[in-house]
Amino acid sequence: MPHVTHLECSLTGKTYEAGVPHGLSEAGRPLLVRYDLDKVAAEISKEKLAGRTEGFWRYREMLPVELEENRVSLGEVVTPIIRFPRSETKLGSTGQLLVKDEGRLPTGSFKARGLALAVSMAKEFGIRHMAMPTNGNAGAALAAYAGAAGIRTTVFCPDDTPQVNMDEIAFQGGEVYKVNGLINDCGKIVGEGKDKVGWFDVSTLKEPYRIEGKKTMGLELAEQLGWELPDVIFYPTGGGTGLIGMWKAFDELEEMGFIGSRRPRMIAVQAEGCAPIVKAYEEGEEHAPVWENAHTAAAGIRVPVAVGDFLILRAVRASGGFAIAVPEADIFSSWAEFAKEEGFLLCPEGAATYAAYKQALSDGRVGKGDRVVLFNCATGLKYPMPEGGEFLDRTQPINYGRFAG
């Protein structure tokens, strides 16, 4: 690893050797990958990056994979940032409403970023069997990337995970099991199986490299906006890897001299039916207890407990942001509203960020002149939509007047 110097416990700061597999630190907290950023800055420039075309692998000097042949790629792209001026006008915004559409990535979600890096590092380390709990999209990404690397995967899903996600995992070669419980119950099975089965646990933040993949969202965002960060980022927050990863990316870019010290306000968005981070934020706590009876149909943010809770809360508070919970009805009315009025199909978790933005704009927590980025974490095509269409009998006289209104 020419640019990686060591790994560091996110809670205690204790250092760990690079170049060998790791899970959590001895303190039971996520490990963060550290780089020789002076060396990285001497090797790349904004101009050099602008000439690259390899999706998020364009930032390879800031990623941990040492050997090019171990990079597992399925044709990643730099995901687009799309402006929605009609919604700006409707909501009375004088700033910009931008959506970064992660649904354009392989397997249709931002989980491709983290799992591409985790699987690439597993390949580099010679790991042959990986396991994880998932609400759907992460399992699909693991199955796809691990399949491409020749690595066996075992995936455990809550029993109300959308069938399309489980079918996708199985179709791409993953062994998938439906569990009568939530994602933390599935995670317990994975954790207990490490010694009994010998698989590598690739649960959210329980290995160091998914966060390195997710940080590429922050690297892309900075580059796409001309190395000027937005005023506010609304992020759908379950395990929170992406929010933590972007915060890490911004610090690394500043240390390299690519951006200044100004940061976006980081907004952690959750559903009212599962809002442990919001509760901890409002109560001034650094850790969030397990959220009992977690429920929301926006499955990606139905995470009752997050091992990186303190990292999410630290980023939110350091940025001057906040955590916000949105009602279930608002998530799905916002989903339908954006589809009809903008022609853009968010996923439910992305719709939660739009609902949160409207709420925060209305109550003054976000300014009308702010440049705001919402993260749409997956293609809306993966999610069940209300049934549409009416039957038309072509063998009977057609009343064309019905179409004229």
Q: Structure pTM?
A: 0.95
DSSP notation for 42-60: HH--HHHHHT--SGGGGGG
Q: pLDDT tens digits, residue range 137-178?
A: 999 999 999 999 999 999 999 998 888 899 999 999 999 999
Q: Domains plus CATH for the chain?
A: 81-106+210-382 (3.40.50.1100)
Sign of CA dihedral 301, 304, 310, 316: positive
Q: pLDDT tens digits, residue range 103-118?
A: 999 999 999 999 999 9
- Block means of pLDDT (10 residues each) for the chain, 405 residues, are 89 96 96 97 96 95 96 97 97 97 97 98 98 94 97 95 92 96 94 95 95 98 98 97 97 98 98 97 96 93 94 98 98 97 97 98 97 97 91 94 86
CA distances from 285 to 152, 267, 276, 288, 312 (A): 39, 16, 11, 7, 12
The neighbouring-strand residues paired with 235 are: 268
Give the count of alpha carbons within 13 A of 205, CB side only.
24
